[in-house]
Structure 1
Amino acid sequence: MSEGKGGSLQIRASDSVKVIGSSTQNGNPSRMFATSEDSKSGDAGDLTINTRHLLVSNGAQVSASTSSKGKSGSLQITATDSVDVTGKLIYL
């Protein structure tokens, strides 16, 4: 980890993006994120998802956030057909 702006994450899928559930080994959620967490770090990067269908379910997470002094990145979702968010503990 170092100081400076976080990198951006762009996901382009012609059909679908699915973020589902959590690890059976340690319970950590499946997730896509752009974040800045260190107290010395800069702004978080941006997260962009372009697809026809987006599914986020069963505790999975999609986020752009910060817990540092920097600014949060942006979260932009373009899903031309559908966005399905289902299950428990939903984070967007």
Structure 2
Amino acid sequence: MTIAASARFEFRLRPEAKSRIEQAAELVHESTSDFARTAAEERADRVLQAHSAATVVPGAFFDDLLRALDEPTMPNSALREAARRSRGIVERR
């Protein structure tokens, strides 16, 4: 099911930008409206995807994480047990 476009979006641009958009739209056999709308939608999708892929954490958290990664490892009992069990599972060739 296709939903008809009904929302309106207007903006102003420099005459040379309008001319480039018209020229590009003509090259791909699209109306300037379709060309501009598609370009804006694609850019919005890229920006939203990039933003959702980023994880923002407080600086102190990041500093603590890096400090913890730099510290020597200290195996606990669960890790020692897992390593012991793996010796019987993993084959050496």
Q: TM-score range by the shorter chain?
A: under 0.3
TM-score by length of 2: 0.21
More helix by share: 2
User: TM-score scaled by structure 1?
Assistant: 0.21
| Higher strand proportion | 1
Structure showing greater relative contact order (alpha-carbon pairs closer than 8 Å, 6 or more residues apart)? 1
